[in-house]
Structure 1
Amino acid sequence: MVALQSAVLWGAGVDAVIPTESTQQAVTYPSLFLLVVVGALVPVVPTGALVSGAAVVALHHSTPALSLAAVFAVAAGAAFLGDLTLYWLGRRGVASKNGSRWLERLRSHAPPERLTQAQDKLREHGVAVLVLSRLIPAGRIPVMLACLLARMPTREFVRGNLPACFAWTVTYALIGILSGSLFPEPWQGVVAAVGLTVLVSVVPGLWRRMGHKRTQTG
């Protein structure tokens, strides 16, 4: 009798235990927004992997087109807000005689040779270089620092950074869509998407190091 009652209670409570799709979305979108903003301010959070993983999950929703559009809007908006906040904090450091910890943090993530390259590209191409900077792994911070040292007005930075954030979001969302479409289970697609984003972020750095070693030995 006790076993029967337990079975009935368990069966009635299954729907309450398993979160509904709307509940998942209510948790996922704010979390995605917050994590991407934090990742823009503190460049150690793998925001590209977050966007790709969210795109995989959205692909398996009952309305994938709407869910993917929501992921795109949330991620792009968060990336733009995070970049704009970091640039504003950096400008305060440039204007101050004593600098700021945010400006020093940017300098610590921009090796001198990368900063020099970014400054050269900025002089040649203007704000258009911001679009490429978000698509190249570890390219965002050196270009942003170059813009700060050139005392680029915030309005001009926004003009280049807005399409950069859109391009970045589309790129990593497409990685998620591709990974999610290859596997029947969402978790499999998420693993594949995270693996691809890590590969994309690591390979260019390894390639540069190998080229640098070959130059030294040659």
Structure 2
Amino acid sequence: MLDGITAWAEALMGMPWIYLIILGTAVVDSFLPLIPSESLIIAGGAFAATQDDPNLWLLVLAGACGAWIGDNVSYGIGRWGTGPVVRWSLRGHRRERSYRWARHHIERRGGTVLVLARYLPAGRTATTMTMGVVRWSHRRFLVFDAIAVSAWSLQAGVLGYLGGRIFQDNPLLATALGIGVAVGLVFVIELVRRIRGSRQARSGVPVG
């Protein structure tokens, strides 16, 4: 069964339109975080380490372009659908917490938050939509988001590639390693965010 999955993955990664698939999934994943576009980029990087196709740099470019387009769609949804977006964001504790965190930190350090939030699936969507809601400068958004998606896609591709170099005979294991490291990075960022929020709360600083 594992051999069959590997063969299917090799065939998928060898398709000429794999770059369009990655671009499309990255677009949708930016405002509907249900499709694991990062995992697909990591898998592509793992196969790129031992095969001629796909090309690592084209994978990274496709992922970054798709994420940039998707983030701008999310920003537009927030900007032109402010009322419904705010009401939707305040439904459910987790969703409300992400929205309030994003709004509070955007007002203090918008560009930095945009870059860091790209690594947090729920925080990513909350941040880009909230930036639209608060009318954060779209020109600045375009610049900072280009930095964010480039770093995000490059990190995913390189993680997969390094895993592929380590486990050259098992690209699926290399993919799993890359995804594990990426999840670990998300955990660390979230842990640091919670610790800082806790300290601010104890010191009397509002955390949103």
TM-score (norm 2): 0.73
Following the alignment from structure 2 to structure 1, what is the Cα–Cα distance between the partners of residues 134 and 141?
11
Of 137, 142, 158, which residue of structure 2 is paired with 1:158?
142
CA drift at 1:193: 2.2
State the match for 1:193 in structure 2.
Answer: 178
Residues 1:190 and 1:156: Cα distance change in structure 2 (over 3 Å): same
Say if 2:29 and 2:35, in contact at 8 Å, map to a contact too: yes
The 5-angstrom pairing of residues 1-218 of structure 1 reads: 24-62=14-52, 67-94=55-82, 99-100=83-84, 111-185=95-169, 186-201=171-186
Say if 1:51 and 1:169, in contact at 8 Å, map to a contact too: yes
Following the alignment from structure 1 to structure 2, what is the Cα–Cα distance between the partners of residues 23 and 124?
42
What is the RMSD of the two structures over their aligned residues, measured on CA atoms? 3.4
Say if 1:58 and 1:71, in contact at 8 Å, map to a contact too: no
Report Cα offsets for 1:41-84 as digits up to 9, x if no partner: 311222221111111112222378xx111011110001001111
Gaps of at least 5 residues in structure 2 are: 1-7, 199-208
State the match for 2:202 in structure 1.
Answer: none
CA drift at 1:175: 1.6
Give the partner amino acid of 2:62.
V
Following the alignment from structure 1 to structure 2, what is the Cα–Cα distance between the partners of residues 23 and 147?
35
| Secondary structure in 1 matching 2:168 | coil
Give the partner amino acid of 1:72.
V
CA drift at 1:34: 1.4
| Secondary structure in 1 matching 2:118 | helix
Following the alignment from structure 1 to structure 2, what is the Cα–Cα distance between the partners of residues 181 and 151?
44
Residues 1:40 and 1:108: Cα distance change in structure 2 (over 3 Å): farther
CA drift at 1:200: 4.0
Say if 2:160 and 2:174, in contact at 8 Å, map to a contact too: yes
Say if 1:40 and 1:79, in contact at 8 Å, map to a contact too: yes
Identity among equivalent positions (%) equals: 25
| Secondary structure in 2 matching 1:139 | helix
Which of the two has higher C-alpha Rg? 1
TM-score (norm 1): 0.70
Gaps of at least 5 residues in structure 1 are: 1-17, 213-218
Following the alignment from structure 1 to structure 2, what is the Cα–Cα distance between the partners of residues 131 and 153?
15
Give the partner amino acid of 1:40.
S
Length, aligned pairs only: 189
Say if 2:30 and 2:71, in contact at 8 Å, map to a contact too: yes
Following the alignment from structure 1 to structure 2, what is the Cα–Cα distance between the partners of residues 38 and 22?
19
Once superposed, which parts of structure 1, at least 4 consecutive aligned residues long, lie more than 6 Å away? 20-23
